[in-house]
Amino acid sequence: MVQSFFQVALFLFLIILAYVLKRLGIFTQRDGTTLSNITLNITLPAAIIASFNTFTMDYSLLLLILTGIGVNVVLMGISYLAMHRTNSQLKAYALLCGSTYNIGNFAFPFVQALSGPTALVAASLFDLGNALMTTGLTYSLAASTAGGTRPDTKDLVKKLFTSVPFITYLLMLGLSFASIHLPAFLQNWMLAIGKANPIIAMLMIGFMLDIRFERSWIHYSLVLLSIRYVLAVAFAFLFIRFTDFAPVIKSTVALVVFSPVASSSVAFTDKISDQGKLASFTSSLSVMVSIICYTVLSVFLT
């Protein structure tokens, strides 16, 4: 418990340090984008490979993919109902920012540092379902709701299969099913590279935090975030209480459902509607709330 607390305290220090250095002008938000690209394309895939390579696949864990899809569907439906009296642009914003999770850049560093390879595999499977919703169904429905045309199916498939983490999930899942393991030297390389992921990701979060806002944004953000985190409590309770997974799997899923809004949802909202700045504010606010939730939960769940 004490070790988990100090690990989270280190992460908080890195986020605050990065944010302060950005405010002082030493770094910019563009540096956060650079670190995000490094995380998503280098250190995160390496951490995923290292975790899957030492893991013996339990087929029951494939239910975590359905869990990732299911919680997104519930969040999406309730968020839409909460905004049903608003205009189509805000409804599209609700679909994208009321559901979807930032697992790769936010949850993985905590899970990787606090719970180890098995937990990272569980989070990866959950994120596989989450990614299918974020880049597929949720984005498509939001685009239609905003008054535009549905994104081309080929474009959606391209977005998924040009995502390095998504490809890594599928590759390592296939190797796990086939009981194929990478050579020891490659495993060691992936471990070494993957260890950099938590630090880079926390600095990235600090650089990309943006808390500038208009007063009218607060209401909409609070509505969606209230739905997200109240349901997160319900999801975590139900998963811990009514599933037969190992404790480390239960605690991992209970943690990741408190993750912030997916960063891609902000980009999608900006692309299909005029609510991009509102989505960015909601995302930043969700990061701060999730940091508090993770700090508290890490003491009890790890």
- Structure confidence by residue, pLDDT tens digits, 100-159: 999 988 998 889 888 888 899 999 999 999 998 888 888 888 888 887 656 677 777 777
Q: Give 166-185 pLDDT, tens digit per residue.
A: 899 889 988 888 888 889 99
Residues 6 or more apart whose Cβ sits within 8 Å of residue 106:
201, 205, 259, 260, 287, 290
Mean of all residue pLDDT scores within the chain:
88
Decide if pLDDT at 66 tops 80.
yes
Would you place residue 227 in the very low, low, confident or very high pLDDT band (cuts 50, 70, 90)?
A: very high
Distance (Å, rounded) from C-alpha 175 to C-alpha 180?
5
DSSP code at position 273: S
| 143 CB burial (10 A radius; 0-12, 13-18, 19+) | buried
**CA 136 vs CA 4, 92, 100, 156, 217: distances in Å:** 35, 14, 11, 6, 27
Q: What is the pLDDT, as a whole number, of residue 150?
A: 62
Q: Please answer whether residues 93 and 281 qualify as being in contact, where contact means their C-beta atoms are separated by less than 8 angstroms.
A: no
Position 231: which residue type? L
Distance (Å, rounded) from C-alpha 281 to C-alpha 27?
20
Q: Please answer whether residues 194 and 46 qualify as being in contact, where contact means their C-beta atoms are separated by less than 8 angstroms.
A: yes
DSSP H helices in 195-246: 197-208, 215-242
| 162 CB burial (10 A radius; 0-12, 13-18, 19+) | exposed
The half-sphere exposure of 256 on its side-chain side, counting CA atoms within 13 A, is: 37
Which structure tokens are listed for 254?
């209970």
Which structure tokens are listed for 20?
């302060």
